[in-house]
Amino acid sequence: MKTAWRNRIDRQWSADRLRRHSWTLFRFLLIAGLAFIIVQPILIEISSSFKGLSDLYDGSVFLFPKNPTWKNYVDVWKYLEYPSRLAYTVAYCLLCATLQVVSCSLVAYGIARFNFRAKKMILGMAIATIVVPIQTVLLPQFLQFHYFSPITMFTLGNVLKGVNLIGTPIPLIILSATGVAFKNGLFIFMLRQYYRNLPKELEEVASIDGCGFFKTYVRIITPGAATMMMTVLLFAFVFQWNDYFFTTVLTPGLNVFSTVIVNIGESIAVTQGIWFGNMQEMLYDSAALILFILPLIILYSFTQRFFVQSIERSGIVG
């Protein structure tokens, strides 16, 4: 009698355990498989960045080149003048990202904490800037900055010639400082959600102590929002780094990566007197891609918690 009970319990218990373990195994396989799908293209790029032409045409070589070479990296490094371009790109992206954080955070704070009639409309305007496809505004913006003057902004460059700012960092700096650069509507939305959930007492206490609105914002709100701002700063930095349309249209020839990185293999091949259709171009592309994303990966490995916790912190959910 007793053993029969025990057997039954044992069986039930082990069935339960079996189910749990098989779920764990399934979950592991699934996550590992998907993680592999995400990482695999990078692995392939790394592999082909070390290949020579002989490895490329060798069908037996898949991930590990038989004659690994630094040639691709050396040529790309030289063509990019990597160290100086890296320094310029970091400085440029950091400047733009900082300006975007400041301008977005100002308007987000304004519409989150002050009650005035247009605040909903301003939020709608911020969202409109991300809904309208970028191509719709890019061409007139190009003309505005090509013939830049207070009047030609409205006249498509027809009346006055103005100053040509295309190719200088100024257009993106202006757009960043006014909160209409790449994906800034999203940042405004995130920051607004964050500010909205702060306790009211913060400002009340400050106001009783005779602290003005702007002073309250700078001295009390901003230090408390430092992590949230850091998160937005990182997003802005990465988006600016990866930006293609604004950079190639408004700032062609600027000493940043994204102006030259697309089809870089072809450009290098041309400087070497090799013409179109050479597979070497593809190997250059891979090496350039690795050099391009390496700083981002290093940045991400130190700051991943800001990205991963960003949405929770912003309280989009709440």
Partner 1 sequence: MGRRRGITYRQKRALAGWLFSIPFLVGFFLFFLIPVLQSLVMGFQTVKASPTGIKLTFIGLENFKQLLLVDPDFIPVLVSSLTDLAIDFPAIILFSFFIASLLNQKFRGRTLSRVIFFLPVVISSGVIQLIQSSQLQAVSATSITAEAQNTGVVQLADFALGLIRTVRIDPVILDYVQMAVDRAYGITVASGIQILIFLAGLQGIHPALFEASSLEGATGWENFWKITFPMISPLILVNSVFTIIDSMGGLLNQTIMRIHTTSFIIGNYGYASAMSWTYFLIIFIVLSIFLYLTSRKVYYEN
Region 264-293 residues binding partner 1, contact defined as CB under 8 A: 279, 281-282, 285-286, 288-289, 292-293
In whole angstroms, how far apart are CA 290 and each of 44, 105, 203? 11, 33, 47
Q: Under 8 Å CB-to-CB from 75, ≥6 apart: which residues?
A: 268, 272, 284, 287
Q: Does 193 bind partner 1 (CB under 8 A)?
A: no
Q: Does 25 bind partner 1 (CB under 8 A)?
A: no
Rounded-to-integer distance, Cα 194 and Cα 231, Å: 12
Work out how close the CB of 6 gets to partner 1 at its nearest, in angstroms, rounded to a whole number. Answer: 28
Q: Show the binding pattern over residues 68-97: x = contacts partner 1 (CB under 8 A), - = does not.
A: ------------------------------
Looking at 77, 82, 88, 213, which residue binds partner 1 (CB under 8 A)?
213
Q: Does 304 bind partner 1 (CB under 8 A)?
A: yes
Q: Are 259 and 252 in contact (CB under 8 A)?
A: yes
Region 124-153 residues binding partner 1, contact defined as CB under 8 A: 125-126, 128-144, 147, 153
Query: Which tokens hold the place of 78?
Result: 């030289």
Give, rounded to a whole angstrom, the gap between the first and last alpha carbons of the chain.
Answer: 56
Q: What angle do CA 221, 222, 224 make, to 5 degrees?
A: 70
Query: Which tokens hold the place of 42?
Result: 């990078």
Looking at 15, 21, 62, 224, which residue binds partner 1 (CB under 8 A)?
62
Q: Does 46 bind partner 1 (CB under 8 A)?
A: no
Closer to partner 1 by Cβ: residue 1 or 113? 113
Q: Does 161 bind partner 1 (CB under 8 A)?
A: yes
Q: Does 179 bind partner 1 (CB under 8 A)?
A: yes
Looking at 158, 164, 197, 271, which residue binds partner 1 (CB under 8 A)?
158
Work out how close the CB of 316 gets to partner 1 at its nearest, in angstroms, rounded to a whole number. Answer: 6
Number of CB atoms found within 10 A of residue 107's CB: 21
176 class by beta-carbon count within 10 Å (0-12 exposed, 13-18 middle, 19+ buried):
buried
